[in-house]
Amino acid sequence: METKQCTACGQEKPQSAFTKRAGKSGRRGTCRSCMRRRKRETTAVDSLFHADSGSAAEASASGSGLTVAVAVAVGQASTAETRAAVAVTNTETASAASAASETSPPSRTRKRKRKRRRGRYNKAARLRKQQDTDQPAEVSEAQTPVRPPDRVIKQIQGSFTFATSVLNDRGRGHIRLRGYRETGKRWSTVIPTEMAVRMVEEGAAGIINSGMIHKLYTKSDFRLLILQRDDYICRYCGKFGDTIDHVMPKSKGGLSSPANCVCACSECNLKKADKLDFVNNDDF
């Protein structure tokens, strides 16, 4: 078996204990075990240099000459001497770092940023705001609500017809419905032919052609149209109302049309829910 002497430890070792040179057939002069040991010792010295970049680095500045000498000795001195020098350096650096940490002022801890809670979701903030006002919340709720001024509601402009005999789905079973949002953006969808006929008959849409109808009001304009038509009076109790109720509930096939919607107060609207024969029996 061919052997080779290691340049680091001076021992005769087989050539398989040495790494190959890149692009050459020869072997390196340092064995694998010595190379690994040298790498560990170099890493330990480097970690001591970069342990503390602040006050610990200033405290250990006086011993930097000894540390550099140890770093040079790692590559040239014997293994026993290198280990002893590294141990001495570790002890001195650790003592210097501990002394620097005792003399240095304590670092400030970063406060945790509190998440801001919006006022409309903070019930306590709303209660405090009501208490700070001149009139308490009970008095303000007991006051009669003021009816907002009327606004002229105009239909969507277009050449519409309202004769349902014009509609023809050509066997498809659906008619295309079109409309406008409050932002002016156009939308469209398909609805069953029976629903399209009912929307035209109940005054919610107009016919563009045999296969398409168009809603006459936007969502916000339709709400104001019903409230102004009923003079903001609840149909069930006669009090002030500012909500819209579907006489035929939407869950049972009712449509959002002028013929199927009436003005209602919030209490009656909640009591009626999806009932068909709702009667308010409270004494007012």
- Does the model's pTM come out above 0.95? no
- What is the spatial distance between Cα 277 and Cα 252, in angstroms, rounded to a whole number? 13
- pLDDT value of position 52: 54
- pLDDT value of position 72: 42
* 144 HSE (CA, 13 A, CB side): 6
- The alpha carbon of residue 261 and the mean position of all alpha carbons in its chain are separated, in whole angstroms, by 38
Considering only CA atoms, which of 196, 226, 201, 234 is closest in space to residue 212?
196
Q: Into which CATH architecture does domain 218-284 fall?
A: Orthogonal Bundle (1.10)
- pLDDT value of position 110: 66
* Contacts of 8 by beta carbon, 8 Å cutoff, 6+ apart: 30, 31, 34, 35, 38, 79
Output the CA angle 32-37-43, nearest 5 degrees: 125
Encode pLDDT of 83-136 as tens digits: 555 565 566 665 655 555 555 555 556 667 776 655 455 666 666 667 666 454
* 184 HSE (CA, 13 A, CB side): 0
228 and 150 in contact (C-beta within 8 Å)? Answer: yes
Mean pLDDT by 10 residues, the chain (284 residues): 84 85 77 89 82 51 45 46 56 58 55 63 65 53 76 91 94 95 94 96 95 95 95 94 94 94 94 87 59
Domain boundaries defined on the chain: 3-98, 151-216, 218-284
* 210 HSE (CA, 13 A, CB side): 8
